Chain A
């Protein structure tokens, strides 16, 4: 007869020599919400452990709630939840996410939804550019305070910027080279005609904005070029802009000259 059967039968003498342990670890905490959540997840994980999984790389990308959002949502703000503890929850969620999508149980999907962020950035795929009926693809680029729109069409290398040829637009040869760098880096100088509008900023910024705009338009025509264009530095927006002036300084960093009292 086990101790449990003895207690049920009315014989409580056994309790004098046994230590009673609560079934849930949550028994010991003031507000056991975190632990409850963890236990709930553990139970589900255990239940569906035998289902086939897919590799992590193929699992759908999910942005899980961070610890602050978790604590707010489950009302566990008063509860000290460490990041390392919360990572246990995330570990289980990731495991559940790896269950083969075709066999994903409703119960697991529901509980995962509770831990997903409201906005899933991975779902926001950029709208792919299109080539219009005249064969033009548009791209937008920025650099410093300039912004450019470039339209690329298959052709023999004519470039018009703001209705002017490159030589009239940029008197400095270096700027012209910058502007068509995306074409040169991919050996496409004589394969496309470019028509671009560029506004704002100075010559350097405008040339840089054109590089990016032309690269983006080029990618619409030939998506495979994106890697080499990225390597050539045409895809990423250069985040450097002019640094703001601060009070007490003459410029962003320059200090006033020292004066003897």
Chain B
């Protein structure tokens, strides 16, 4: 009886999978990509969790949020959506509202933002967040972006950095550049759309004060929001307008807010791209204008005159390993900790441009959650109705160890993403 029931359940599941596959087949290529990459931030079947504070400006200022769950405000969610800070493979779709745990690293990040905001002298902090897969690097970036929005910063995020280099969008050489640089007009327009949508209220208060010889239309005294909108509509003008807006934002001024410039999956930008030059040789990613722009800021060649933060995080997926990049990060981390590491392989060629782009950056290693934090997040899963076990010390300890010493993505995989709850075994 029991086995027959199981078989029927399996058949049903298989049928559902087949149906979903068939439905996907009916979509066009771009529609399928849209479905695949769609970010779902709510789950109507999950329970509402009461007593979770909202992530407001006031909450950020106080230190009471450390180690607690916080819920993103709707306005912040809209801004985060605009800069594409949510990733489709993060577990937002399992819960009623987008909420997250404020880990020690997140609080440290918020404090750094606070220090930069309150500082007398403008300061540019350059950080690369590293850690094993699903340890929360992208979420930490998201938390930094959310905090920056709440603090009234300008945020520019390079979304889906792999899209910049996988030859999916048109490119063209920039005339009179040596070595030749390549522009991606669609991408520039995309970034301007993002700037205008996410930072609209701030940019509409700021007007052009400088002269921009590259702009071929009357722009005097127009707001930066207007400029962004123009560039977003006109691909041809997008890059000059982006430069102009950036120049305005980085002009030393007491009224201009600090900037948060972030890039996730940054290791995709640390190698030759899929684009080719007229000799059919691969174009290095750093020869693409927007990548070069980010790298200038990451390497400290350009500073943010009104203060700010350049934040990058690589993917820890083994397939994306860039030897020079990983080596540089290892060396920097070792130097920070006062250790020594092995030198570079004497007969292998290192990518000089990657080394230059990481000069002087700070490396922030993310470790797993501690037991208290793990307990908080498991309690949240249980309160959302997505985890049906009793969350006690034993349960937390076991899941913490199984999740590779508190890896947050693994904790979610073990509890929320499993199809069936584990039956208690004879020895528990």
Contacts and interface: CB of A to CB of B under 8 A. Distances in A.
B414 A189 contact: no
Task: Sort chain B's interface into a size bin.
Answer: 20 to 34
Interface string A40-76: 0000000000000000000000000000000000000
A253 interface: no
Interface stretch (B249-257, B343-351, B403-411): B403-411
Contact of A187 (B394, B400, B414): B394
Nearest to B368: A165
Contacts of B397: 157, 189-190
Interface string B151-182: 00000000000000000000000000000000
Interface in B364-403: 368, 371, 393-394, 397-398, 400-403
Interface in A149-168: 156-160, 165-168
Given A165-B407, A184-B428, A157 B132 contact: no
Contacts of A167: 132, 402-404, 407, 410
Interface in A218-261: 232
Nearest to A158: B405
B217 interface: no
B166 to A, nearest CB: 26
Interface string B262-287: 00000000000000000000000000
Given A165-B132, A232-B427, A180 B407 contact: no
Contact of A159 (B393, B401, B410): B401
A236 B401 CA distance: 24
Contacts of B394: 187, 189-190
Contact of B398 (A156, A168, A184): A184
Interface string B285-299: 000000000000000
B427 A190 contact: no
Q: Is chain A's interface secondary structure helix, strand, loop, or mixed overall?
A: mixed
A173 interface: yes
B130 to A, nearest CB: 14
B404 A166 contact: yes
B404 A168 contact: yes
Contacts of A165: 132, 368, 404-405, 407
B428 to A, nearest CB: 7
Contact of B401 (A157, A168, A187): A157
A185 interface: yes
Contacts of B398: 180, 184, 189
A176 interface: yes
A128 to B, nearest CB: 26
A166 B402 CA distance: 6
Contacts of B407: 165, 167
Nearest to A169: B404
Interface in B406-428: 407, 410, 413-414, 418, 427-428
Interface string A129-171: 0000000000000000000000000001111100001111000
Interface string A178-203: 00100111010110000000000000
A214 to B, nearest CB: 11
Q: Which of B132, B404, B414 has the most CB of A within 10 A?
A: B404
Contacts of B393: 190
B402 A185 contact: no
Contacts of B402: 166-167, 173, 176-177, 180
Nearest to B422: A177
A117 B394 CA distance: 51
Contacts of B368: 165
A190 B407 CA distance: 16
Contacts of B413: 173
Nearest to B371: A156
Nearest to A181: B427
Contacts of A187: 394
Nearest to B132: A168
B207 to A, nearest CB: 52
Interface in A3-40: none
A196 to B, nearest CB: 13
A190 B132 contact: no
Contact of A185 (B400, B410, B427): B427
Nearest to A190: B397
Contacts of B428: 184
B370 to A, nearest CB: 9
A112 B82 CA distance: 92
Interface of B: 132-133, 368, 371, 393-394, 397-398, 400-405, 407, 410, 413-414, 418, 427-428
Given A167-B403, A190-B393, A190-B400, 13 more contacts: A156-B371, A159-B401, A165-B368, A165-B407, A167-B132, A168-B132, A173-B413, A173-B414, A180-B401, A180-B402, A183-B401, A189-B397, A190-B371
7 contacts: A158-B405, A160-B405, A165-B132, A180-B401, A180-B402, A187-B394, A189-B397
The 9 closest A-B pairs by CB, nearest first: A167-B404, A165-B404, A190-B397, A185-B427, A167-B410, A157-B401, A189-B397, A166-B404, A176-B402
